[in-house]
């Protein structure tokens, strides 16, 4: 028993040993929440408060679940975790439905459809109703269905509340889609939770069975739960009320996935007797970094804000770098990384470059390639390997050489024969040599109707559109289309060489990733690039106060990834999606106390890009992209 409490601070010990009421743990970044949660689960078993089979530990990824289970195996005697369930919401519901789903018509042998299967079935449903994918983008309809299921809304529920042409027909597609799923004895991932809640609500005896089976429930990352996950947890914990949830509203950055940080405050409404314990001691970052993070997040008013502190001492200030341009910014980041690696002997894998938008990686990647800095992209593909970028490049290559059958075959698969014919007709009427790269790019995108396949309201499609816009910036930098394609080929060749080298070096390289992908990670050095108005906070998030608050939380997450060194960089001028813009530093920079910051003076870096040709207004409209 002592080993379970050893090396825990007083608040952590209190959290681990608490009993008698529901428990809400507000755990700040780097406060050891995973440790507390696993030690608490082990404590239940070790103190004979629960049989191991009565403990249910729910989280969001299989990796996190495996890590928790591994930690508990080290805390408990051999065999004492064999019957303990630690897994994702989806894996728990999948197992439950195979056992008891027959009561609501779910076959125990059901198959699970992934996103591609789901989209194909939606296309089929659209066709059956005499509609077209052009009228109803399958991805947009999939998002509509996902949102409905996450809010526990069936097609019949929506029929009563839907309004407007699109929503009315989307509800009909939802109905047809569900009929097809039932016909094929299939469930999509959202169905796993939806059907489980339906089972619990319609068959109280089944709910009671699982309430008796799992008397001690622990839920990780509670700020990331959506409404149906919240409802599922509430139903399971209703009888014995031995439920522990851990979360931090300041790290709630997934509202676009349906996550609702307000579930943290709703918890104390549904479980009025709940005890709330704050875990505010940080074991990751220096106090300078934490004070800066506290200053940024304290401006949010709609959720609880913890005040992080640490015993870790350092005189290192936060470095702020203003660059002339995005090229200069990337070059300066590369120079700093080389200095940190060679002089402070910091491993490249312990350095991260974080950015708000996926498209920002392109200029960083090219700078690193130029400087021979190995890097690893986390949670994404290298810029020129992204499907939408490769599609546009295939159009350009085919336009300059219509004998290029590799590009032809790719386009036939991605845009279809009819659109490819339209594209060929447009190309036949073009004198390629008379157009700049950006003009030609715009003309080909327009002629192929390529953008029709994307739904600007879909978060993933929005990222793809941003990548296409960023390719416009590359085209603007290289007006001659042949030189543009040559530059791309050279960069791609360097990609290939670095991949081979990276394998030999066991993937040692600087970590590049979006701020969203960085959550849960930590690094000795963090560069937060593009620290500008319009980027962080994002231009799409400047209307609603709630959106600005989420951008502030995203900034907070980025800052608290840094253990020892934090660099905030921004560009006075940026070639942004094909057009040059003058940007103000992010408003979040002014939130950080001046005494924590050191402005780095840097030598100017010449921008070798040629300006775009005068009168470059052919087809291009940034609001369309």
221 is catalytic: yes
Catalytic residue among 284, 464, 519, 561: 561
| CB 540, CB 551: distance < 8 Å | no
Using alpha carbons only, how large is the chain's radius of gyration in Å?
27
Q: Concatenated DSSP letters for 179-219?
A: HHHHHTTEEEHHHHHHHHHHHHHH-HHHHHHHHHH--EEEE
* Three-state SS sequence of 55-98: EEEEECCHHHHHHHHHHHHHHCCCCCCCCCEEEEHHHHHHHHHH
33 is catalytic: yes
Q: What angle do CA 279, 284, 288 make, to 5 degrees?
A: 95
Helix locations, 384-533, DSSP H: 387-400, 405-415, 417-428, 437-448, 459-477, 481-504, 515-518
Q: How many residues does the chain have?
A: 625
- What is the side-by-side strand order in the sheet with 351-355? 375-377, 510-514, 351-355, 523-528, 562-571, 318-323, 597-600
Cis amide leading into 537 (omega within 30): yes
Distance CA 565, CA 602 (A): 18
Catalytic residue among 54, 100, 146, 221: 221
Catalytic residue among 11, 12, 33, 118: 33
Per the listing, tokens 């974080």 go with 354
Sign (positive or negative) of CA dihedral 487, 493, 496, 501: negative
Rounded alpha-carbon distances, angstroms, from residue 181 to 6, 98, 125: 51, 16, 11
72, with CB counted inside 10 A (0-12, 13-18, 19+), is buried
Closest CA to 218 of 248, 249, 247: 247
| CB 263, CB 230: distance < 8 Å | yes
10, with CB counted inside 10 A (0-12, 13-18, 19+), is exposed
34 is catalytic: yes
Query: Helix crossing, 437-448 with 417-428: angle to 10°?
Result: 140
The residues annotated as belonging to the active site are: 33-34, 220-221, 251, 561
């Amino acid at each position: 028993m002592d080993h379970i409490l050893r090396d825990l601070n007083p608040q952590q010990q209190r959290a681990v040993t608490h009993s008698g009421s529901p428990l809400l743990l507000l755990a700040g970044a780097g406060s050891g929440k995973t440790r507390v949660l696993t030690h608490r689960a082990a404590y239940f078993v070790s103190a004979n408060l629960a049989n191991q089979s009565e403990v249910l530990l729910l989280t969001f990824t299989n990796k996190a679940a495996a890590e928790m289970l591994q930690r508990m195996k080290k805390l408990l005697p051999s065999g004492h975790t064999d019957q303990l369930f630690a897994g994702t919401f989806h894996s728990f519901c999948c197992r439950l439905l195979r056992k008891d789903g027959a009561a609501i018509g779910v076959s125990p042998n059901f198959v699970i459809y992934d996103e591609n299967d789901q989209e194909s079935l939606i296309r089929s449903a659209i066709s059956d109703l005499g509609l077209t994918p052009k009228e109803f983008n399958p991805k947009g309809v999939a998002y509509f269905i996902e949102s409905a299921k996450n809010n526990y809304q069936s097609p019949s529920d929506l029929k009563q509340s839907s309004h407007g042409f699109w929503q009315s027909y989307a509800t009909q597609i939802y109905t047809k889609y569900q009929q097809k799923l039932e016909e094929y004895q299939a469930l999509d991932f959202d169905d796993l939770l939806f059907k489980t809640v339906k089972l619990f609500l319609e068959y109280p005896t089944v709910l009671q069975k699982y309430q008796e089976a799992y008397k001690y429930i622990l839920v990780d990352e509670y700020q990331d739960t959506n409404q149906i996950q919240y409802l599922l947890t509430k139903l399971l914990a209703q009888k014995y009320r031995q439920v522990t949830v851990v979360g931090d509203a300041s790290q709630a950055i997934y509202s676009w996935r349906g996550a609702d940080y307000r579930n943290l405050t709703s918890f104390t409404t549904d479980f009025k007797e709940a005890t709330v314990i704050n875990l505010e001691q940080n074991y990751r970052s220096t106090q300078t970094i934490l004070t800066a993070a506290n200053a940024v997040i304290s401006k949010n008013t709609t959720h609880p804000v913890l005040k992080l502190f640490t015993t870790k001492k350092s005189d290192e200030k936060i470095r702020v770098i203003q660059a002339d341009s995005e090229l200069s910014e990337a070059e300066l980041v590369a120079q700093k990384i080389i200095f940190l690696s060679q002089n402070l002997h910091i491993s490249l894998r312990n350095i991260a470059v974080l950015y708000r938008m996926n498209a920002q990686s392109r200029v960083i990647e090219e700078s690193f390639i130029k400087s021979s800095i190995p890097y690893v992209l986390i949670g994404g593909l290298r810029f020129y390997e992204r499907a939408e970028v490769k599609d546009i490049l295939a159009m350009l290559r085919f336009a300059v050489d219509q004998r290029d059958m590799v590009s032809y075959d790719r386009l036939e698969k991605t845009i279809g024969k009819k659109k490819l014919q339209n594209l060929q007709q447009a190309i036949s009427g073009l004198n390629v040599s008379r157009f700049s790269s950006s003009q030609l790019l715009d003309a080909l995108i327009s002629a192929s109707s390529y953008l029709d396949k994307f739904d600007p309201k879909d978060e993933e499609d929005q990222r793809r559109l941003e990548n296409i816009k960023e390719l416009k910036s590359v085209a603007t930098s290289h007006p001659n289309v042949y030189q543009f394609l040559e530059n791309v080929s050279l960069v791609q060749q360097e990609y290939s060489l670095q991949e081979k080298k990276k394998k030999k070096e066991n993937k040692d390289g600087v970590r590049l990733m979006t701020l969203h992908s960085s959550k849960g990670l930590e690094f000795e050095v963090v560069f937060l690039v593009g620290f500008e108005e319009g980027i962080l906070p994002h231009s799409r998030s400047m209307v609603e106060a709630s959106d600005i608050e989420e951008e502030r939380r995203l900034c907070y997450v980025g800052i608290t990834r840094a253990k020892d060194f934090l660099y905030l960089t921004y560009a006075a001028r940026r070639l942004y999606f094909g057009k040059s813009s003058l940007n103000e530093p992010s408003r979040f920079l002014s939130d950080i106390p001046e005494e924590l910051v050191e402005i780095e003076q840097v030598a100017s870096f010449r921008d070798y890009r040629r300006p775009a040709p005068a009168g470059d207004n052919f087809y291009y409209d940034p609001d369309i992209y």
